[in-house]
Amino acid sequence: MQWVHHSASAEQFGRDQEECRQAAWREASSRYWFHRPMGPIVAPGQVMWNHGAMIDPYGNQMLEENRLAQFCMEAKGYRLEPAPKQ
């Protein structure tokens, strides 16, 4: 798959992609570090420690970062299309 925008130059594509990557990294990082539930989860008869993976919707920072970067590119008018076969 490749990003396509019929009116964007290669230079503009590079700038847009880098801007989206950086913005996605910042947002995903802030969600990961500042909004992760931490501490014990008390269930009947047991105590488990939660490190964000079990119930945190932002537990996988890389997946969230990719989702946000894709959203950003689509908001700029790009769309993913199959790459031509070589």
Instruction: Provide the percentage of residues in the chain whose pLDDT is more than 70.
Output: 66
pLDDT in tens, 35-69: 555 555 555 555 444 454 444 454 578 888 999 99
Residue 77, classed as helix, strand or coil, is coil
Which residue range(s) make up the domain with 30?
2-81
62 in any annotated domain:
yes
pLDDT at residue number 21:
96
Higher pLDDT, 11 or 64: 11
Question: Could you tell me if residue 20 is inside a domain?
Answer: yes
Token pair of 48, please? 């488990």
Residue 13 near residue 4, CB atoms below 8 Å: no
Residue 7 located in a structural domain? yes
Work out how many domains the chain is built from and give that number. Answer: 1
The answer as to whether 38 is a domain residue is yes
Q: Where are any strands of DSSP class E within 5-78?
A: 39-43, 46-50
User: Do the bridges between strand 79-81 and strand 2-4 make them parallel or antiparallel, or are there none, so unpaired?
Assistant: antiparallel
Mean pLDDT of 16-28: 94
| Of the candidate ranges 12-16, 31-35, 69-73, the one whose mean pLDDT is the lowest | 31-35
Residue 55: its pLDDT value, please? 46
Which residue type, as a one-letter code, is found at position 1? M
Q: Is residue 86 part of a domain?
A: no
